[in-house]
Amino acid sequence: MSVSTSRPRDGVAVVTVDHPPVNALPVKGWFALADAVRAAGRDPDHRVVVLTAAGRGFNAGVDIKEMRADTGHEALIGANRGCYEAFAAVYECEVPVIAAVHGHCLGGGIGLVGNADALVATEDATFGLPELDRGALGAATHLARLVPPHLTRALYYTGRTLTARELERHGAVWALAPDAGRLLDTALELAEEIAAKDGYLLRLAKEALNGIDPVDVRRSYRYEQGFTFEANLSGVSARHRAHFGKDDR
């Protein structure tokens, strides 16, 4: 598991997550991601942060195998707190955050992308919340920032995914890259345009935009997490996790 930060352009930090094979993050990974994004935003030399990932996909959510191996509730509590911190770090980052997505963006990946300021993706990237099939709940708060309300509900209930091109039709995607090899360049084009602005004003703009959001994403997501705990206490979640296949992610 690694989370690295680079600076390929003036004023632009790139935070890259790499946890083979599919970037399904363990508890420590979510906290490491949160720390890296917050640190990048605090650096006065940075005016934009690009969040991306190496490997087969952007993010496959929490590491369900870690959850299944835990006989108590430590992994569940850790994953919930870790996701909360990582999502909040993206939202509260002092400068704009661009999510650069390839491959799959599922579960917790939606939490990251939904809290970002802008999204670029490969044309074949897929987005969805398979939470009900995994015995969990959550991140509807963030999916609702990407698509209209009724589509949010239908996607949440069915666990279906949308492609980046479909998301683009709903105005959620800034730009599409033809493939993963061009993704970072596409993200950096937008990042450089933003980074050309005054850094102090960008920080004020980020705080102002968060301040006028109609939904408090931190409180909303925390409310959702309460139902995840209920599902786990009821035993339903464990039954679903027991059927989680080795090749599902």
Average pLDDT over residues 94-122: 98
Whether the full predicted model's pTM is greater than 0.85, yes or no, is yes
For residue 190 the two structure tokens come to 């937008």
- One-letter amino acid at 134 equals R
> What does the alpha-carbon distance between residue 248 and residue 8 come to, in Å, rounded to a whole number?
34
For residue 30 the two structure tokens come to 């979510």
3-class DSSP state of 200: helix
Relative to beta strand 2-9, strand 12-18 is antiparallel
Q: List the strands of the sheet with 126-128, edge to edge.
A: 104-106, 126-128, 161-163
Residue 47's nearest CA partner among 11, 99, 8 is: 11
pLDDT tens per residue, range 125-183:
999 999 999 888 999 999 999 999 999 999 999 999 999 999 999 999 999 999 999 99
> Which residue ranges make up each domain of the chain?
2-181+197-242
Average pLDDT over residues 116-125: 97
Task: Go through 163-189 and write b for each residue having 16 or more CB atoms within 10 A of its CB, e for each that does not.
Answer: bbeebbeeebbbbbbeebeebbebbbe
- One-letter amino acid at 195 equals A
48 strand-pairing partners: 12
> What does the alpha-carbon distance between residue 23 and residue 41 come to, in Å, rounded to a whole number?
23
Percent of the chain's residues with pLDDT above 70: 98
Q: In terms of CATH architecture, what is 2-181+197-242?
A: Alpha-Beta Complex (3.90)
Residue 174's nearest CA partner among 88, 116, 112 is: 116
- One-letter amino acid at 198 equals D
pLDDT tens per residue, range 226-245:
999 899 889 888 888 777 66
Residue 194's nearest CA partner among 124, 101, 128, 97 is: 97
